[in-house]
Structure 1
Amino acid sequence: MKFRTFSHRHALQILENTKEYSELLREIFESLENVTEERLIEHFQYNYEVPGKAKKSISESINKLLKSELVIAGWRVEAPIFRDADFGEGKWRLDFAKSCKLPASDSRPYGDADQTGISMEVAFNHSGSIAWNLLKPVLASELNHVEKAIQTSVGVVVTATRALQEAGGFDGAIGVYEDYVSHLIPLRDVLTVPILIIGLEAPETFVMRHEKRGTTTYGLISKN
Structure 2
Amino acid sequence: MNKDGVKANLSKVDHCVAILQSNYLPWRGYFDLIHDVDLFIFYDDVQYTHSDWRHRNKLMTRDGPRWLSIPAGHDLKRLICEVEIPDQSWKQQHRRIIEQNYRNAPFFKESEPLLDFLYENALTNLSDYNQRAIKYLSGILGIHTKFSDSRLLAVDGRKTERLVGILEKVGATKYISGPSARSYIEEPMFAEAGIELAYKEYPVYPAYQQCFSPFSPLVTVLDLLLCVGPQAPAHIWGKP
TM-score, length basis structure 2 = 0.26
- Whichever structure has more strand as a proportion of its residues is 1
